[in-house]
């Protein structure tokens, strides 16, 4: 999991590469480096944050590559930072992904006299390229080198005396940008959006030659054409605009993000969800199961959706942690729809799961935020959540938009299957339509969240409880808190407390309870009493006036039916944010974490 | 040239709408007041903006971001306590360089007013002040001129003491010296810009830049309706592409209809109305001369005239807001005969068949039982039961 940027053209490469790295910082940040080509190669790399990387004031080079690293093989040290070079220092490589057979390749190279400096898998690439360069052009050398590699990767190569950059892609994100004053390569469009919006997505096995004049894509030695698309996101939309952290900005963007998500998709008059997907009615009628595969926050969105699908579409739905997924258990692939939920569309675990499902013959659907991402190419159909770019490592607005999109899917499937009466559908759609306003109400009461966070920030541990739709929200609330405040936080199904976790509850462990509609609040109130008798302070999120007297802090959630837990979640996001802020944590860049995890 | 826009104020006289949003974010023709100002500044060719924000600043920052959508660069300065315009301006000091323009974020102006001021910059004057004629000068800072020289500046003089109908439009050009002047002015609380300018006026160092054109101030709730109608008239109708107007609904006159707003069969939307995003107007409802904020729901059969409906508010079926003129008390001051059918705060929820007499103001999040008759003020979060 790393970020790559490359530029070649008429401008000086250094500022373009440096800002590109800055924009990619969210993908990993334990070390960073840059290589500039100007008749010779200059390499600058260091462990630490990108801001700390010492670069020259200026450089005449018009071709360069850069990398931000998130360690998989080898600790974050100066030596392990990319770019890596060959013995002569004339070939520089940055790489994203994992080379599975690097030990074997490295042993071979060492036997042939190559000297290695780092512990990384990446370093085999420049040495291989060095060998293959004898009597060949750079593109042929890179092609030959990657043929010897196993695993998933995107590599970008420059040398001291070949013009331009050559890259290769296998199971790892890589995007090419074509601009007026030069051309770009990156692991994510945000790296170069300020310069161009014309992008091409290479496919697996492609080798890409980028010069100042143009981009040529080869596959199996033949020139191939890949379509050029125009990206609509504003590069600047990804800047903080007066907020202290991207996370806070993105929490506050939720009303407008939700309006975008829902725009044009609600037909309340007829009780229909207007979704641009092609799943035939006969197929949906024959469905025996919907499987949702996802990781992290997306997994929690999947759990929320499963409850809605079973309730309203009357179809068995299971949610799977992507890395644990297998297609088996006597399922009929023709009657199983597998839905991959991934913000970035590049999550390796999720891609792996969806490939397993596809191989088994099941129909697949992607639910993602990222146009042109790998998951959209590897599934039969795609439903975009339209939340806009999310930079904060802790997912916030995309969770809300994922759940809203999946709720629309539940209405769609329920109506197609004839299991959801139009009246109930209208009510559900009405609740969805009310989401932006209800979320805004929680945001307007932020001062109260800050006070509560301040009061309880020193808790030994935090427990989040909920039932039904409140359960995924409890899990998500706990995940946000642990991600950014590093506090011990756990989400439990409220009924499970008494079967074990209750032993952990003390007067120093605040309990946060989801007591909204859609979350069986009456039953959960009994669990609230259980923890209160152990002296734990309880923060309750509720739309019921009668629950207040049992709570130390009662948070009002607007009436919104089955969408209430999703609204309550916004309060929990703010709670996590303010606890972390109180503790001075690095909120946008929590330790050990990266935005989209493209390694298994 | 940079522009500093003061947008930190609360706007207490516009409660309940300013309970949850700062005054500059009140919508006129479906766009915040502040957006009209930002556009005027951008159209005048100024590309670097500093917004001084404070009260509920998240709303402003979330909307404007870094200014890219308006082709400008926006930076934010924060005034954490609302201690007046001069104090707000002082917060922008680290972000400005050389001469700059200062404007209020809650007054609609023409971009010509800004470009004219920018052209006038230069010469030996310390301060340029845009002045404009108005009908009721006693609500503003009345200016006395000697040629182009400002020789007198009196804040809100009593009507009998008004000596001219020329007022300070609150649009200035300053240099860095202004910050010294602000620091040198003694204060015991709020510090407004005119107070800082008094010694400069006395020294004849303030030059007036006269302007005749659009200058619209929203001081009171009813101004929101009249300014909205005036701006709609000037700009013409605007209906978002994703809005859905049913074939059997009627929309006439100049109106603004936001994205994803739905107008149901038989509903009628008339002159001077702005419906924000994601609004629902139910079957056979009539909406006229109204400002309806995003996510609000007007249920079937309602009559909503001369009315402001807050964000996410619900007006129950067959509710009647007859509209017209009324006497209204705001902040303990009595205002006779203003045109205001009613105001419903954000998230207010009305049951069916409520009747609201002209001048009714319902607070944020209040709930009203079906069949109630409303008049006067209903507090925030209150529950009104049918008596």
Cβ-nearest to B242 among A236, A240, A264: A264
d(C-alpha B88, C-alpha B361), whole Å: 31
Q: Could you write out the DSSP letters of every residue in B80-135? A: SS---HHHHHHHTGGG--SSEEEEETTEEE-HHHHHHHHHH--SS-SEEEEEEE-S
User: Within this chain, do residues B270 and B177 fall inside the same structural domain, yes or no?
Assistant: no
Tokens of A341: 């939920």
Structure tokens at B103: 């404007």
How many A/B residue pairs have CB atoms within 8 Å? 83
Give the CA distances from residue B113 to residues A240, B1, B44, B172, B232, in Å, rounded to whole numbers and listed in that order.
31, 15, 8, 10, 20
Residue A531 near residue A538, CB atoms below 8 Å: yes
> What is the number of residues in chain A?
600
The confidence score (pLDDT) of residue A1 equals 54
At A239 the pLDDT is 65
Check whether residue B168 and residue B64 sit in a common domain. yes
Helix (H, G, I), strand (E, B) or coil at A44: strand
Q: Look at the block and give the residue holding tokens 């209405």.
A: A411
Average pLDDT, chain B: 92
CB A170 within 8 A of CB A205: yes
In this predicted structure, the answer to whether residue B352 has a pLDDT above a threshold of 80 is yes
State whether B66 and B137 are in the same domain: yes
Contact A252 B61 (CB under 8 A): yes
The residue of chain A with its CA nearest to that of B296 is: A437
Whether residues B253 and B324 share a domain: the answer is: yes
Q: Does B31 touch chain A (CB under 8 A)?
A: no
As a whole number of angstroms, the distance between CA A214 and CA A8 comes to: 10
E-strand stretches of B194-313? 206-210, 215-217, 238-239, 244-245, 250-251, 256-257, 262-263, 268-269, 274-275, 280-281, 286-292, 297-298, 303-309
Token pair listed for B325: 């003129």
CATH number of the domain to which B321 belongs: 2.160.10.10
Q: Could you give the CA distance from residue B4 to residue A306 in angstroms, rounded to a whole number? A: 50
**A246 bridge partner residues:** none
Burial B60-80 (b: 16+ CB within 10 A, else e): bbbbbbbbbebebebbbbebe
DSSP code, position B243: -
Give the span between the Cα atoms of A391 and A101, in whole angstroms: 33
Chain A neighbors of B366, CB-CB under 8 A: none
The burial of A254, by beta-carbon neighbours within 10 Å (0-12 exposed, 13-18 middle, 19 or more buried), is given as buried
A256·B64 Cβ contact <8 A:
no
Q: pLDDT category, A234, cuts 50, 70, 90?
A: low
Give yes or no: residues B19 and B42 share one domain.
Answer: yes
Q: Mutate which of B62, B91, B292, B381 to disrupt the A interface (most A C-beta within 10 Å)?
A: B62
DSSP string, A138-177: HHHHHHHHHHT--EEEEEEEEESSSSSEEEEEESS--EEE
The partner residue sitting opposite B260, judged by closest CB among A259, A269, A446, is A259
User: Quick check: A249 contacting B, CB < 8 Å?
Assistant: yes
Helix pair A446-456, A564-582: axis angle to 10 deg: 50
Q: Which residues of B touch A237 (CB under 8 A)?
A: 65, 68
Which chain A residues are Cβ-neighbours of B262 within 8 angstroms?
268-269
Cβ–Cβ below 8 Å for A443 and B259: no
DSSP H or E run through A570 = helix A564-582
Least confident of A48-52, A116-120, A532-536, B233-237: A48-52
Pairwise CB contact (< 8 Å): A446 & B58: yes
Q: Which contiguous run of DSSP H or E holds residue A20? A: helix A13-24
Burial class (CB in 10 A: 0-12, 13-18, 19+), B158: exposed
Residues of B in contact with A254 (CB under 8 A): none
Residue A29's pLDDT band, with cuts at 50, 70 and 90, is low
**Integer CA distances (angstroms), A566 to A111, A292, A384, A477, B272, in order:** 59, 18, 19, 11, 36
The yes-or-no verdict on residue A93 having pLDDT over 50 is: yes
More confidently predicted of B63 and A544: B63
The answer to whether the beta carbons of residues A484 and A248 sit under 8 Å apart is no
Which range of A315-319, A494-498, A528-532, A593-597 scores highest in mean pLDDT? It is A315-319
* Closest C-alpha to B263, from B113, B360, B273: B273
The pLDDT value given to residue A237: 47
Q: Of A165-169, A423-427, B227-231, B329-333, which gets the smallest average pLDDT?
A: B329-333
- Bridge partners, A442 (sequence order): none
- On the 0-12 / 13-18 / 19+ scale of CB atoms within 10 A, A499 is exposed
Cis link prior to B16 (omega < 30° from 0)? yes
Q: Which residues of B touch A269 (CB under 8 A)?
A: 262, 264
Claim to verify: residue B233 and residue B88 sit in the same structural domain = no
What's the pLDDT tens digit per position in B193-232? Answer: 999 989 889 988 899 999 988 888 898 999 999 999 999 9
Assess whether pLDDT exceeds 90 at residue B68: no
Please report how the helices A297-312 and A470-485 are oriented relative to each other, as an axis angle in degrees rounded to 10. Answer: 170
Q: Centre a 10 Å sphere on the Cβ of residue A78 and count the other Cβ atoms it contains.
A: 12
Residue B379 confidence class, pLDDT cut points 50, 70, 90: very high
Last residue of a domain, one of B217, B233, B253: B217
> In chain B, how many domains are there?
2
Nearest chain A residue to B55, by CA:
A444
The single-letter DSSP state of residue A390 is -
Cβ–Cβ of B68/A234 closer than 8 Å?
yes
Nearest to A436 among B51, B295, B346 (CB): B295
Q: How far is A194 from chain B (nearest CA, A)?
A: 11
Active-site amino acid positions of A = 2, 595
- B86 and B49 within one domain: yes
Nearest CA to A288 among A316, A313, A309, A314? A316
CATH superfamily of A3-237: Aminohydrolase, N-terminal nucleophile (Ntn) domain (3.60.20.10)
- Put simply, whether A276 touches B (Cβ < 8 Å) is no
Query: Does the beta carbon of B344 lie under 8 angstroms from any beta carbon of chain A?
Result: no
Shortest CA gap B71–chain A (Å): 11
Q: Note the pLDDT of residue A236.
A: 46
Who among B20, B53, B64 is closest to A444 (CB)? B20
Judged by average pLDDT, the poorest of A22-26, A130-134, A236-240 is: A236-240
Calpha distance B286→B321 (Å, rounded): 10
Burial string for B295-327 (b: 16+ CB within 10 Å, else e) reads bbbbbbbbbbbbbbbbbbbbbbbbbbbebeebe
Find the residue in B nearest to A252 (Cα): B62
The pLDDT of residue B160 is: 83
| CB atoms B311 and A243 under 8 Å | no
For residue A235, pLDDT over 60 is answered with no
pLDDT over 80 (residue B123): no
Average pLDDT of the segment spanning A46-74: 83
> Are B239 and B212 in the same domain?
no
Residue B242 in contact with partner chain A when CB distance is under 8 A: yes
**pLDDT of amino acid B329:** 87
Interface residue B366 vs chain A (CB under 8 A):
no
Which residue, among A160, A165, A231, has the nearest Cα to A197 in the 3D structure? A231
Expressed as residue numbers, the domain containing B19 is: 2-217
Among B186, B217, B248, identify where a domain stops. B217
Identify which of A239, A438, A446 has the shortest CB distance to residue B66. Answer: A239
Got the DSSP string for A430-459?
A: HHHHTHHHHHHHHHHTHHHHHHHHHHHTT-
Q: Which domain CATH number covers B31?
A: 3.90.550.10
Residue of chain B nearest A249, judged by CA positions: B62
**Residue ranges of domains in chain A:** 3-237, 240-433, 442-590
Q: Domain A442-590: which topology?
A: Rossmann fold (3.40.50)
Say what the pLDDT of residue A134 is. 87
pLDDT at A76 over 80: no
CB crowding B128-137: b at 16 or more within 10 Å, else e:
bbbbbeeeeb
Residues B98 and B179 in one domain: yes
| The pLDDT of residue A430 | 93
Task: Answer whether A468's CB lies under 8 Å from A519's CB.
Answer: yes
Contact B61 A239 (CB under 8 A): no
**Smallest CA–CA distance from A434 into chain B, residue:** B295
Q: Give A249-276 as a DSSP string.
A: HHHHTHHHHHHHHHTTTEETTTTEE---
- State how far residue A572 is from chain B, nearest Cα, in angstroms: 18
Whether residues B194 and B60 fall in one domain: yes
Do residues A472 and A493 touch, judged by C-beta distance below 8 A?
A: no
- Whether the per-residue pLDDT at A27 is higher than 80: the answer is no
Distance from CA of A260 to the nearest CA of B (A): 10
Cα separation, B347 vs B311, whole angstroms: 6
Q: A240-433, what's its fold?
A: Rossmann fold (3.40.50)
Q: Rank A83-92, B120-129, B290-299 by mean pLDDT and report only the highest.
A: B290-299
Q: Does residue A263 belong to the interface with chain B, where contact is any CB pair within 8 Å? A: yes
Same domain flag for B208 and B247: no
Question: Residue length, chain B?
Answer: 387
Per residue in A312-331, pLDDT tens? 999 999 999 999 999 998 99
Cβ atoms A95, A142 nearer than 8 A:
no
Nearest to B64 among A241, A259, A436 (CB): A241
Task: With beta carbons less than 8 A apart as the criterion, state whether B285 and B319 touch.
Answer: no
Domains A3-237 and A240-433 alike in fold: no
């Amino acid at each position: 999991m790393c970020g790559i940027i490359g530029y070649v053209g008429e401008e000086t490469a250094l500022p373009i590469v440096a800002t590109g790295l800055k924009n990619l910082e969210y993908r990993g940040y334990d070390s960073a480096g840059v290589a500039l080509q100007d008749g010779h190669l200059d390499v600058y790399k260091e462990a630490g944050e990108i801001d700390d990387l010492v670069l020259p004031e200026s450089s005449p080079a018009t071709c360069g590559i850069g990398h931000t690293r998130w360690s998989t093989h080898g600790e974050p040290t100066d030596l392990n930072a990319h770019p890596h070079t060959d013995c002569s220092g004339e070939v520089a490589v940055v790489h994203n992904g994992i080379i599975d057979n690097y030990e074997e390749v490295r042993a071979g190279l060492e036997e042939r006299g190559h000297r290695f400096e780092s512990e990384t898998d990446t370093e085999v690439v420049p040495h291989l390229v060095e060998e293959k360069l004898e009597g060949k052009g750079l593109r042929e050398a890179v092609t030959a080198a990657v043929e010897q590699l196993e695993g998933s990767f995107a590599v970008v190569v420059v040398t001291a005396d070949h013009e331009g950059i050559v890259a290769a892609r296998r199971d790892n994100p890589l995007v090419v940008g074509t601009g007026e004053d030069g051309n770009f390569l990156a692991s994510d469009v945000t790296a170069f959006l300020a310069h161009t919006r014309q992008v091409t997505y290479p496919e697996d096995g492609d080798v890409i030659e980028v010069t100042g004049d143009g981009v040529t894509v080869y596959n199996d030695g033949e020139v191939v054409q890949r379509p050029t698309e125009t990206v609509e996101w504003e590069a600047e939309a990804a800047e903080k605009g007066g907020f202290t952290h991207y996370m806070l900005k993105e929490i506050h963007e939720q009303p407008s993000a939700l309006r975008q998500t829902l725009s044009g998709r609600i037909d309340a008059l007829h009780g229909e969800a207007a979704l641009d997907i092609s799943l035939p009615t006969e197929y949906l009628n024959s469905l025996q199961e919907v499987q949702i595969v996802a990781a992290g926050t997306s997994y929690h969105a999947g759990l929320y959706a499963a409850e809605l699908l079973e309730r309203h579409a009357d179809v068995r739905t299971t949610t799977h942690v992507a890395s644990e997924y297998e297609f088996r258990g006597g399922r009929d692939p023709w009657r199983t729809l597998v839905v991959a939920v991934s913000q970035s569309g590049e999550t390796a675990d999720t891609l792996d799961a969806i490939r397993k499902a596809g191989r088994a013959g099941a129909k697949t659907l992607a639910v993602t935020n990222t146009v042109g991402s790998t998951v959209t190419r590897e599934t039969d159909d795609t439903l975009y959540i339209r939340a806009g770019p999310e930079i904060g490592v802790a997912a916030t607005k995309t969770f809300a938009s994922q759940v809203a999109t999946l709720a629309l899917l539940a209405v769609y499937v329920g109506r197609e299957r004839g299991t959801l009466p139009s009246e109930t559908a209208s009510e559900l759609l009405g609740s969805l339509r009310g989401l932006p306003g209800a979320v805004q109400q929680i945001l307007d009461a932020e001062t109260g969240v800050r006070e509560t966070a301040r009061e309880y920030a020193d808790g030994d541990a935090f427990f989040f409880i909920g039932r039904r739709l409140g359960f995924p929200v409890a899990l998500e609330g706990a995940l946000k808190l642990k991600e950014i405040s590093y506090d011990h936080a756990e989400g439990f199904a409220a009924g499970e407390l008494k079967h074990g976790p209750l032993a952990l509850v003390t007067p120093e462990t605040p309990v946060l309870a989801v007591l909204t509609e859609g979350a069986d609040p009456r039953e959960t109130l009994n669990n609230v009493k259980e923890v209160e008798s152990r002296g734990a302070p309880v923060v309750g999120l509720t739309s019921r006036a009668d629950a207040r007297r049992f709570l130390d802090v009662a948070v009002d959630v607007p009436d919104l039916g089955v969408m209430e837990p999703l609204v309550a979640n916004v309060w929990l996001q703010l709670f996590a944010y303010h606890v972390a802020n109180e503790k001075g944590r690095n909120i946008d860049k929590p330790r050990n974490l990266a935005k989209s995890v493209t390694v298994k | 040239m940079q522009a500093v826009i003061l947008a930190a104020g609360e706007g207490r006289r516009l409660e309940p709408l300013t309970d949850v949003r700062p005054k500059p974010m009140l919508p006129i023709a479906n766009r915040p007041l502040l957006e009209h100002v930002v556009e005027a500044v951008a159209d005048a060719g100024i590309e670097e903006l500093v917004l001084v924000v404070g009260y509920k600043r998240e709303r402003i920052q979330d909307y404007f971001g870094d200014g890219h959508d308006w082709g400008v660069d926006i930076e934010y300065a924060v005034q954490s306590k609302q201690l007046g315009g001069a104090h707000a301006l002082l917060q922008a000091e680290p972000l400005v360089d050389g001469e700059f323009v200062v404007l209020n974020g809650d007054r609609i102006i023409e971009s010509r007013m800004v470009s004219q001021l920018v052209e006038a910059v230069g010469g030996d004057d310390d301060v340029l002040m845009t002045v404009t004629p108005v009908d009721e000068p006693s609500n503003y800072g009345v200016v006395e001129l000697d040629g182009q020289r400002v020789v007198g500046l009196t804040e809100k003089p009593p009507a009998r003491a008004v000596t001219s109908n020329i007022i300070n439009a609150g649009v200035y050009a300053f240099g860095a010296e202004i910050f010294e002047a602000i620091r040198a002015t003694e204060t015991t609380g709020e510090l407004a810009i005119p107070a800082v300018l008094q010694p400069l006026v006395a020294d004849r160092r303030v030059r007036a830049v006269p302007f005749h054109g659009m200058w619209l101030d929203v001081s009171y709730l009813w101004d929101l309706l009249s300014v909205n109608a005036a701006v709609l008239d000037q700009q013409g109708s605007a209906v978002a592409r994703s809005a859905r107007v049913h074939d059997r609904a009627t929309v006439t006159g100049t109106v603004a209809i936001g994205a994803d707003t739905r107008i149901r069969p038989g509903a009628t939307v008339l002159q001077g109305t702005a419906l924000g995003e994601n609004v629902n107007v139910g079957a056979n409802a009539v909406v006229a001369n109204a400002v309806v904020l995003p996510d609000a729901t007007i249920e079937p059969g309602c009559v909503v005239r001369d009315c402001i409906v807050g964000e996410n508010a619900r007006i129950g079926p067959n509710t009647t807001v007859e509209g017209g003129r009324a006497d209204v008390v705001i902040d303990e001051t009595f205002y006779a005969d203003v045109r205001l059918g009613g105001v419903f705060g954000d998230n207010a929820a009305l049951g069916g068949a409520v009747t609201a007499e002209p001048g009714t103001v319902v607070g944020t999040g209040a709930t009203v039982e079906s069949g109630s008759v409303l008049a006067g003020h209903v507090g925030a979060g209150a529950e009104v039961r049918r008596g």
